[in-house]
Amino acid sequence: MLWKIIIFLGMSAVIVAAFLTASPMRAANSLGPADVYRIFYFHVPQAWVASLAFVLSMIYSIRFLRTRNMKYDTKALTANKLGVMFAIVAMVTGSIFAKMTWGEFWNWSEVREVSVFILLLIYGGYFALRSAIADPDTRANLSAVISIIFAVAALFLIFVLPRIYSAFSQHPSDSIIDKSGQITMGLTVRMIFFSSLIMFTALFFWIYNLSIRVARLTAKKMLESK
Amino acid sequence: MPTRSISWVSKTLAVTRKDIVSEFRTRYAINAIVMFALVTLTVISFSVGLLSPSKEILSALFWVILFFASMSGLAQAFIKEEETGTAMILRLSCEGSIVFFGKMLFNFLLLLTLSILVVPLFIVFLKVVPTDWTLFIGAVLMGLIGLSGATTIIAAIVSKASVQGALFTVLSFPVLLPLLVAVIEITTVSFTGGTFADASAPLQLLVAYDVIMITLSSMLFDFVWRI
């Protein structure tokens, strides 16, 4: 209950601050109207949470294979469910930004858009496999294996491919974060951005804990009814 | 331990030989793959052959044919074992890694047969000749190694599930996508008159992909095989 209030207040503060302060991009540098760049406060944390969920589910899959404890299977599944949600949201906000600056919602030569789409295909495959296996132990085992294979394929897609085909990408990374990885933002922008990042991460873990508790209670109830 | 490594190789080859013999009896996988490839090739020749498509499009179409044809038959290697109930005997008689590499070799040979049939037909029907044959053959071989390496473990996973055919394609596509991107790039270079140097970046990607995927699959195979 306490966390609910904290996250609600924090999120509201981030949203208000994101729209009341100056845009993170100066009008002179921007491709479209400078106001469009406010989406950066939301899009980047969403994409970050989606990748966090992906990494979490891979870690829990490995732990499941080492221990065969069903607890880790539930955790991996929950992380994947939330990952889908945040990946869809990140994809939608990214498309809106693409439409406002580059003139089209979707562009197949844009590596980042394609990789988030592949990420969704991967999640689709994971859930399709889970629904096709009836036995819980086999299901947990095989979905852990496939999610490790998927994670390695995703590493190729996210880190290796964009480097080889970098000429295609229009995704703004240099404009916000320069090549050496140093963030070139003003103090206000930085404060809002990092509070948004923290709030989205907190939101993720809040929903995550709730889902784990629900899953645990459901399993307990099923045992009792047997 | 030379004796042990020799017996490992001969056992692996025995698994492959067993699969080849049983494939010659039923000819299920090879029929499915070859017919699928022929039908796709005919459809593509009819629809775009008259439009004189660019070489980039042709190299993509070439791999679309190979990809979907292999999807129709590669899963059989394990599905057949589960359906006829011979999986348990195989599990008792040798280690997981022997089964993995034996099946992988069988799938590779299956794809090799397929491409020996498809490549000449593709060249004749769509009137495209690779200018650099070594690059083209290298790309096809490396692509087939990656295809069989990455899909063997997925076939083993799918054989334990229901709705196997559809699931196999759904699970394979995201895993194979980096491979397809790289191999289409190299094939385009070999069609448009480039050399090895022009294709060095996708070649590196392809080799890294093959090595990593085969290593990872052979490491994870025991978790799938011994349930």
**pLDDT tens digits for range A41-97:** 888 889 889 889 989 999 999 999 999 888 999 999 999 999 999 999 999 998 888
The pLDDT of residue A203 is above 90: yes
Do the chains contact at B227 and A118, CB–CB below 8 Å? no
Helix then strand count (H, E) for chain A reads 7, 0
Distance CA B109, CA B20 (A): 9
Contact A137/B at CB under 8 A: yes
Do the chains contact at A157 and B167, CB–CB below 8 Å? no
CA atoms within 13 A of residue B196's CA, in its CB half-sphere: 6
For residue A31, the SS3 value is coil
Residues of chain B with pLDDT under 70: 1-5
What local confidence, expressed as pLDDT, does residue A79 receive?
Answer: 93
Q: What is the mean pLDDT of chain B?
A: 87
Domain limits of chain A? Answer: 2-225
Distance CA B61, CA B67 (A): 10
Closest CA to B190 of B108, B113, B103, B128: B128
Instruction: Give CA separation, A48 vs A91, A209, B92, in Å.
Output: 12, 18, 46
Nearest chain B alpha carbon to A118? B174
The pLDDT of residue A179 is above 50: no
Do the chains contact at B173 and A121, CB–CB below 8 Å? yes
Report residue A180's pLDDT band, with 50, 70 and 90 as the boundaries.
very low
Whether ipTM exceeds 0.85: yes
Report residue A29's pLDDT band, with 50, 70 and 90 as the boundaries.
low
Backbone angles phi, psi at B5, to 5 degrees: -70, -35
Do the chains contact at B208 and A160, CB–CB below 8 Å? yes
Interface subset of A 39-78, CB within 8 angstroms of B: 65
Chain B neighbors of A148, CB-CB under 8 A: 216, 220
Number of Cβ pairs < 8 A linking chain A and chain B: 78
Contact B52/A at CB under 8 A: no
Cα B206 → chain centroid: 14
The pLDDT of residue A104 is above 50: yes
Tell me which H or E stretch contains A199. helix A187-225
User: In angstroms, what separates the C-alpha of A94 from chain B's closest C-alpha?
Assistant: 21
